[in-house]
Amino acid sequence: MMDAVRLTARDVGVSFGGLVALAGIDLDVGAGEIVGLIGSNGAGKSTMVNVLSGFQKPSRGTVFLGDVSLAGMPPHRISRAGIVRTFQSVRLFRDLTVAENVAAAVAVLGKGAPDVTELLALMGISDLKEKPAGSLSYAHQRRLAIARALGLRPRFLLLDEPAAGMTPGEVEELDRTLVALRDQTGLGLLLVEHNMTLVMSVCERLVVMDGGRVIARGTPDLIGQDPLVRQAYLGPGRERARP
Amino acid sequence: MIYVIQTLVDAVSVGAVYALSALGIGLLFGVMRLVNFAQGEFVTIGIYTLMLTVGLWFPLAAILTVLVVVLLALLADRLAFKPVRDADPATMLITSFALSYLLQNVLVLIFGARPIGFNIIPELGLPVMIGEIRIPRLNILTICVAVGLLTGIALFLRRTRIGIEMRAAAVDFRMARLLGIKGDRVIAVAFALTGVLSAVVAVLFAAQTGTAAPTYGLQLALVGFVATVIGGMGSLVGAVFGGMIVGVVTVCLQALLPPELRVFREAFVYAVVIAILVLRPDGLFQGVGSRERV
């Protein structure tokens, strides 16, 4: 079901002592939209995800879910409000089975919670449900992390480098899964990712960061041709992965 | 052969009590990274409760003991540990020692330091004859209660929502809270389960020894702690196995050592413990406590 609510960040700034990590970032993600947040290491992408998910208190600016300000909300309340994230380091419950990992999230919602089996099927890991999470391959662990996040019935899912460590074949599969996920659930997805093949393929809009600032926004086509972006991030000889 | 079987039944019976004690320590360590030495006093207070209720119908006395110890465990969580929950583990450890000594000294003030004898059910001392093998009823009761309780707790942790939440919190407490799992509730349930285990250990221990003394529980808590280390800190299966190993080794050494060496039995037990840890520094089952945190 599509949801008209947008996730919006307005003029978000974060400073660590004298170091400015984010300098007035505006960002928004709509329902059913896949937005890519890209930039070199240290550009401030993960800090931005931390702000959106409540892990980092901004020095200035505010995050809104629809008209509701999320200022001062702790991470668990933000995830209950509908903004759920995954982590670069997967952080699964390694001793629990695949199904139990998702059940731990689903149980919190009580009645009306998503079905564990359906979530595992959606992420293509149904056949692994009785395996301990710690025994899964890296790609499957990342899929499980997304399935667990979906167990909280999010409206917006923030994926922090979901393709890290995956083979090209696994990235292609993830590409299909993310699009199917968006199409079936109407979720808004914010994708922080270095794998440009994935980013250029699945995202409708890109936001490019450098040094804590947004240096470009637009469709993958436009961003791919932006000379500033090519110089700062993509590299002068870099071509789009998919036209 | 008969002697060997009788000794083994004794060993399993003692091991079962140690396993329950170790499981209580392991449960709290898993969720809070707290080695709660005050658990010993939960056991001791359980023993005194049982002593004070001698004369009541035994099942009622046992239920009262469980209720008193669970209430004590929940109060300990709320009044002593919750205020220092976000402090470093050393602070929580010192808090557990402080609570342990406080409770122990309160018991000394009320009941004195000397052991007090009492007898719950004299019939438990009578043997059951299986062929030529004499097995005390108490040993059979101990083994049955331990197996039942361990099975019940295993099912609780695997089949119930709060059980899965507890296991999740034991692996990554912050992540569990991020998912919306209520940390306070998970910890309270862990303390309550520790209370149930301590009360059952108190009943079994009191039935075996027939005395109450302010230091009994601390000894059991120390054995439980050693057992969790052998088993692998944070591994509940390891805690149970560790407790069983310490119990079995203790009883077997008592049976096998020459009389002049039996006074050094504990030294031999801890030599075995050291040998296990030299061979398996993380314990027999690697628990979450020995893994690198991400």
pLDDT per position as a tens digit, A171-194: 999 999 999 999 998 999 999 999
In the prediction, which pLDDT does B72 show?
Answer: 97
Residues 6+ positions from A153 with CB-CB distance below 8 Å: A82, A109, A113, A114
Residue A235's pLDDT is 59
**Of the candidate ranges A125-134, A219-228, B71-80, the one whose mean pLDDT is the lowest:** A219-228
Is B164's CB within 8 Å of A75's CB?
no
B156–A contact, CB cutoff 8 A = no
Determine the pLDDT at residue B250.
Answer: 92
Residue of B178, B182, B236 to mutate, interface with A, max A Cβ within 10 Å: B178
Beta bridge partners of A135: none
Q: Say which residue, B68 or A226, is predicted with more confidence.
A: B68
With a cut of 50, say whether residue B195 has pLDDT above it: yes
Asked whether the predicted pLDDT for residue B204 surpasses 80, the reply is: yes
In a domain, A210, yes or no: yes
Note whether B36 and B194 are within 8 A (CB): yes
Q: Do B172 and A148 touch (CB under 8 A)?
A: no
Q: Does A9 map to a domain?
A: yes
Longest dimension (CA), chain B: 60
Q: Do B177 and A76 touch (CB under 8 A)?
A: yes
DSSP B100-132: HHHHHHHHHHHH-SS-EE--S-GGGGSEEEETT
Tell me: pLDDT of B243 over 80.
yes
Partners of B92 in beta bridges: none
The reported pLDDT for the residue numbered A236 is: 54
- Once rounded to an integer, what is the mean pLDDT over residues B113-137? 85
Best A76, A96, A146 member to test B by mutation, with max B CBs in 10 Å, is A76
In our burial notation (b when 16+ CB lie closer than 10 A, e otherwise), range A3-22 reads bebbbbbeebbbeeeeebbb
Whole-angstrom Cα distance, residue B172 to residue A8? 30
A-B Cβ pairs (cutoff 8 Å, strict): 56
Among chain A residues, CA nearest to B288: A95
Q: Which of A157, A135, A95 is nearest to B169 (CA)?
A: A95
Label each residue of chain A as H, E or C: CCCCCCEEEEEEEEEECCEEEEEEEEEEECCCCEEEEEECCCCCHHHHHHHHCCCCCCCEEEEEECCEECCCCCHHHHHHHCEEECCCCCCCCCCCEHHHHHHHHHHHHCCCCCCHHHHHHHCCCHHHCCCEHHHCCHHHHHHHHHHHHHCCCCCEEEEECCCCCCCHHHHHHHHHHHHHHHHHHCCEEEEECCCHHHHHHHCCEEEEEECCEEEEEECHHHHHHCHHHHHHHHCCCCCCCCC
CA dihedral (B171, B173, B174, B177) in degrees, to 10, reads 120
Selecting from B161, B168, B180 the residue whose C-beta is nearest the C-beta of A93 gives B168
CB pair distance less than 8 Å for B168 and A96: yes
Strands lying side by side in the sheet with A19-29:
A19-29, A7-16, A60-65, A68-69
User: Residue A110: closest CA among chain B residues belongs to which residue?
Assistant: B161
Contacts of B180 in chain A (CB under 8 A): 76, 79-80, 105, 108-109, 152
Question: Is residue B196 scored above 50 in pLDDT?
Answer: yes
Closest CA to A93 of B168, B98, B249, B81: B168
Torsion of CA B204, B124, B246, B265, to 10 degrees: 120
Q: pLDDT per residue over A198-216, tens digit each? A: 999 999 999 999 999 999 9
Q: Tell me what percent of the residues of chain A surpass a pLDDT of 70.
A: 94
Q: Does B176 touch chain A (CB under 8 A)?
A: yes
User: In angstroms, how far is the first alpha carbon of chain A from the final one?
Assistant: 30
- Helix (H) / strand (E) element for B205: namely helix B183-209
Measured between CA atoms, how close is A157 to chain B, in angstroms? Answer: 13
As a whole number of angstroms, the longest Cα–Cα distance in chain A is 53
* pTM score above 0.90: no
Structure confidence at residue A44 (pLDDT):
93
For residue B54, is pLDDT > 70?
yes
- CATH (domain of B283): 1.10.3470
The DSSP secondary-structure symbol of B264 reads G
Three-state SS string over A172-231 comes to HHHHHHHHHHHHHHCCEEEEECCCHHHHHHHCCEEEEEECCEEEEEECHHHHHHCHHHHH
CA A56/CA A168 separation, integer angstroms: 33
Range of the domain at B246: 2-290
The residue-averaged pLDDT of A83-100 equals 92
Q: Is the pLDDT of residue B294 over 60?
A: no
Q: What is the pLDDT of residues A133-148, one digit of tens each?
A: 999 998 999 999 999 9
For B211, phi then psi, to 5°, come to -140, 160
Give the alpha-carbon dihedral of B254, B258, B263, B268, to 10 degrees.
-70
Whether B180 sits inside 8 A of A152 (CB atoms) is yes
pLDDT, residue A234, reads 61
Q: Which CATH number does the domain housing residue A68 bear?
A: 3.40.50.300
| Overall average pLDDT of the B116-127 stretch | 84
- Residue B116: predicted pLDDT: 94
Question: Does A189 reside within a domain?
Answer: no
Tell me whether B86 touches chain A (CB under 8 Å): no
- Beta carbons of B171 and A105 less than 8 Å apart: no
For residue A49, being part of any structural domain is answered with: yes
A105 and B165: CB-CB below 8 Å? no
Q: Which residue has the higher pLDDT, A79 or A243?
A: A79
How much is the average pLDDT of B57-63? 93
Q: Which pLDDT score is estimated for A242? A: 41
User: How many C-beta neighbours within 10 Å does residue A66 have?
Assistant: 14
pLDDT at B287 over 70: no
At CB < 8 Å, which residues of chain A contact B?
75-76, 79-80, 89, 91, 93-96, 100-101, 103-105, 107-109, 148, 151-152
Strand partners, B133: B130
Q: Whole domain around residue A32: which residue ranges? A: 1-79+196-235
Residue type, B231: G
Provide the β-strand partners of residue A159. Answer: A191
pLDDT of B87 above 90: no
Total domains in chain A come to: 1
List Cβ neighbours of A198 (8 Å cut-off, separation of 6 or more).
Answer: A163, A171, A174, A175, A191
- Distance between CA atoms of residues B226 and B223, nearest Å: 5
Please indicate whether, in this complex, the C-beta atoms of B180 and A80 are within 8 angstroms of each other.
yes
Domain count, chain B: 1
Query: In chain A, what residues touch B175 (CB-CB under 8 Å)?
Result: 91, 93
Residue A1 lies in a domain: yes
A17 occurs within a structural domain? yes
Residue B80 carries which DSSP code?
A: I
Angle at B181 between CA B180 and CA B183, to 5 degrees: 120
Asked if residue A57 is part of any domain, the answer here is yes
A240: pLDDT strictly greater than 90? no
Mean of pLDDT over chain B: 90
Q: Do B167 and A152 touch (CB under 8 A)?
A: no
Tell me the pLDDT tens digit for each residue of A93-134: 988 999 999 999 988 787 778 899 999 999 999 999 999 999
CB A163 within 8 A of CB A198: yes
Phi then psi for residue B9, to 5 deg, are -65, -45
Q: B168 and A100: CB-CB below 8 Å?
A: yes
- Residues on chain A touching B164 (C-beta within 8 angstroms): 96, 100, 103-104, 107
Mean pLDDT in chain A? 89
Closest partner CB to A96 (pick from B167, B177, B180): B167
* Facing A104 at nearest CB: one of B179, B288, B294: B179
Q: Is A160 inside a domain boundary?
A: no
